[in-house]
Amino acid sequence: MKEFLQKLIQADTTSDKGELAAAQIIAAELGLSGIDSRIDSWGQTRANIVAHIKSTGQKAPLLFVCHLDVVVPGEAAWSHPPFAAVESDGKIYGRGSADMKGGIATIVTAIRQVVDTGTRLQGDIILLCAAGEETDSCGVRRFMHERSWLSEPAGIIIPEPTDFAVVTAHRGMIWLKVTTKGKTAHSSAPELGVNAISSMRAFLDELDKYKIDVQPHPLWGSYSMSVNTISGGKAMNVVPDQCTVGIDIRTLPGQNHERIINDFKQIFAWLKQQNPTFNAEVSVDRAVEAMETDPQCSFVREFCAAVGANETKAVGFTTDAPHLRPLGAPIVIFGPGKPELCHKPDEYIDVSDVETAVEHYKKIILKFLL
Ligand SMILES: [Zn+2]
């Protein structure tokens, strides 16, 4: 299995490269146990892979949902090359080792081991490894669009790295772009133009005072908001006519994204009252709803019993889970790897965690499908 994981890491699936190579590696691995899978590919390099392990059909299926893509390694130096999958000190290093090729390698291995032993299951296993989770969730949205063949699962498991915590809730997010518009002028006579950067400063001052009106949540407390990008201005001697900031807001379950956008528009209106040359617009760059599964539901309780967990947790990061809500099934995030290593240099996964994960996933499959 280690070699399988290493091959998956070596298949660079950052957004430029696409997911097809990794999907082919998974298809070949499943094929070793005679498991058919279907690669759904588009745009030359993008791909989902779906495997459907049929059973007697007396029980509802289990759906496992992974993502094939990884984020870029970034500018910082790595101790081991990010796509070499070097093993050292009981760890395998590489981009995606934790998020989430470790999860993919272990669920595929667990499914293979169940199939190889000839266990007669009473419910189907469906495995989806999807494209684009780190960017626009294109893979899971495509899967959901063509899901007419899929009956309601007993539960959905997302093998993202939780360090074996049973996660039943995550925050949502909305990325907003705010652009202020002005008028260019020669900077020796700035009074003839409208400086878009000055307008942005006025907006950011207001944003500092702004609080979203929302009840604190028992698991997370409050939402978070951070201005993370800014661009504007073309030349040292030209008054800028445009300035754009990117704002990442992490939201709570039930929090209304539309209302935040309306609040922004009200701030614009107020600033325009103060200064008629103020002009701004807001657009949504990306939005993911929050996810919350009832930790007391029977699926979660049985899941916890299967993996020996006494509690469930909530996390700050997002997943493809909200897109799966129309399936009507409880969703649990559970997998090997430390979440704090995700998207960072020197990402790794412990080989011992990989082995433990296979045992957990086998127990889960047998608990619900035997
Ligand atoms: Zn992930």
Tens digit of pLDDT at every position of the chain (370 positions): 999 999 999 999 999 999 999 999 999 999 999 999 999 999 999 999 999 999 999 999 999 999 999 999 988 899 999 999 999 999 999 999 999 999 999 999 999 999 999 999 999 999 999 999 999 999 999 999 999 899 999 999 999 999 999 999 999 999 999 999 999 999 999 999 999 999 999 999 999 999 998 888 887 888 999 999 999 999 999 999 999 999 999 999 888 899 999 999 999 999 999 999 999 999 999 988 899 999 999 999 999 999 999 999 998 888 999 999 999 999 999 999 999 999 999 999 999 999 999 999 999 999 999 9
Q: Would you say 45 and 19 are in contact if contact means Cβ atoms under 8 Å apart?
A: yes
Local structure of residue 125 (DSSP, 8 states): E
Q: Would you say 194 and 183 are in contact if contact means Cβ atoms under 8 Å apart?
A: yes
Residues bordering ligand 1, an ion, CB closer than 5 Å: 99-100, 160
The CA 319 to ligand 1 mean position distance, Å, reads: 7
The CA 103 to ligand 1 mean position distance, Å, reads: 9
Is 128 buried (19+), middle (13-18) or exposed (0-12) by CB count in 10 A? Answer: buried
- pLDDT at residue 363, rounded to an integer: 97
Q: Which two tokens stand for residue 288?
A: 């993911």
72-97 pLDDT per residue, tens: 998 889 999 999 999 999 999 999 99
- pLDDT at residue 105, rounded to an integer: 98
- pLDDT at residue 317, rounded to an integer: 85
Other beta carbons within 10 angstroms of residue 113's beta carbon come to 17
The CA 52 to ligand 1 mean position distance, Å, reads: 22
The CA 117 to ligand 1 mean position distance, Å, reads: 30
What is the reported pTM?
0.87
Listed in sequence order, the residues at least 6 apart from 137 whose beta carbon sits closer than 8 Å to its beta carbon are 130, 288, 320, 323
- pLDDT at residue 316, rounded to an integer: 82
The CA 66 to ligand 1 mean position distance, Å, reads: 8
The CA 278 to ligand 1 mean position distance, Å, reads: 40
- pLDDT at residue 12, rounded to an integer: 97
Q: Residue 160 pairs with which residues in a beta bridge?
A: none
The CA 113 to ligand 1 mean position distance, Å, reads: 24
300-329 pLDDT per residue, tens: 999 999 999 999 999 888 899 999 999 999
Residues 80, 77: Cα–Cα separation, whole Å: 9
- pLDDT at residue 220, rounded to an integer: 80
- pLDDT at residue 38, rounded to an integer: 98
The CA 109 to ligand 1 mean position distance, Å, reads: 19
The CA 203 to ligand 1 mean position distance, Å, reads: 33
The CA 100 to ligand 1 mean position distance, Å, reads: 5
